[in-house]
Amino acid sequence: MSLASRMALLASRIGIEVKSRIDAGHPGVAKAWVCFGYVDSQIVIRAAYNIANVTRTATGRYRVTFAGAMPDHHYCWTALARSSSNNSTQRLAIVRATSDQKTPEYVDISCATTSASFADSTEINLMVLR
């Protein structure tokens, strides 16, 4: 048996082992994610998993509703926002305001400038782990 054949067999066996141990229930797998932005006065969802919709509640403020609810509100989310141009004020996904909510059905996220004023972004990426 050639080295290439042995390496292909080994790669196949590793794939089978990993597949049997990591599935959708694994805590290291995202339970929901979305790439969206506010473009031409509307929300544009470019790609998503387990997301029902994204609603803009105010400038730089969004409610992301899950297609399938989380088991509880003890999940972790992280988000990144893109600046609207190469030389303008940077955009940040920031910690929730006290009025924002985090429920099994949805999470409110905010986008702001570095001076902490709410601002929209043409691209925000959100990932939820549980």
Token code pair at residue 80: 């990144």
Q: What pLDDT, on the 0 to 100 scale, is given for residue 58? A: 93
Confidence of residue 86 (pLDDT cuts 50, 70, 90): low
Digit-coded pLDDT (tens) for 19-75:
677 677 777 789 999 999 999 999 999 999 999 999 999 999 999 999 999 999 999
Q: What pLDDT, on the 0 to 100 scale, is given for residue 87? A: 61
pTM to 2 decimals? Answer: 0.79
Instruction: Give CA separation, 1 vs 5, 10, 15, 16, in Å.
Output: 6, 13, 20, 21
